[in-house]
Amino acid sequence: MKDLNTLVRGFRRFHRRFFESDDLLYEKLCLRQTPKVLVVGCSDSRVDPAILTDCKPGDLFVVRVVGNLIPPYEPDTKFHGVSSSIEYAVRFLNVEHIIILGHSSCSGINLLMTENDEQEVESEFINSWMDIALPAKEIVQKEMVGKPFEIQCKVCEQAAMILSLENLMTFPWIAQRVDNDKLSLHAWYFELETGDIHNYDTETCEFEILKTTR
């Protein structure tokens, strides 16, 4: 991208599509938002939830954070950006689904896996944030000794998503809604190399290619 003109041209296309061709959409969205799905995705520029799912404005409530990690429930006086966004989506917007959207070649997980090695840039915040996924890293290092680093990272990416699913259930108002069948939790793993999405099946404990119906 040479300059911001690329973004300006993109905004003009957006404006033509959603304000000139479909002037009713934002007329409704001005009144309220009613998304049914919360997506907790990675900040990675290659994995945009709305683009990936071809959604329109108002369809998704999106939280994006390095590593698409979800911390455990910690009700205290500290700052909780991710947790507060999840609370808003669940308790105020009453979303019906939460999707953790992870992906291959995640830089955050790569950083976690090399945390004890010498790093080019010293982190102020990222390392401590990625420590949320330390249990996933420990499992990988214990069970995948001698495996190629790339394979270890992929397994850790998926293990961290499962850990985040478990962390979601530590929020009492999430667990209550799940138990009452008012909220469903999902983990989707987007493979950059193939363009496939793998859904975590809680019965088989495996990530399986997401099947679509035409």
| Residue list for the binding site for Zn(2+) | 42, 103, 106
Which residues are registered as beta bridge partners of 186? Answer: 99
Helix, coil or strand: residue 46: coil
End-to-end CA distance of the chain: 35
Tell me the pairing of strands 197-201 and 206-209. Answer: antiparallel
Q: Which helix (H) or strand (E) holds 126?
A: helix 126-130
Reading phi first (left if > 0) and then psi (alpha if -120 to 50, else beta), residue 13 is in: alpha
* Vertex 66: Cα angle to 71 and 127 (nearest 5): 75
Annotated binding site: 42, 103, 106
Query: Using CA atoms, how far apart are residues 152 and 172, in angstroms rounded to an integer?
Result: 33
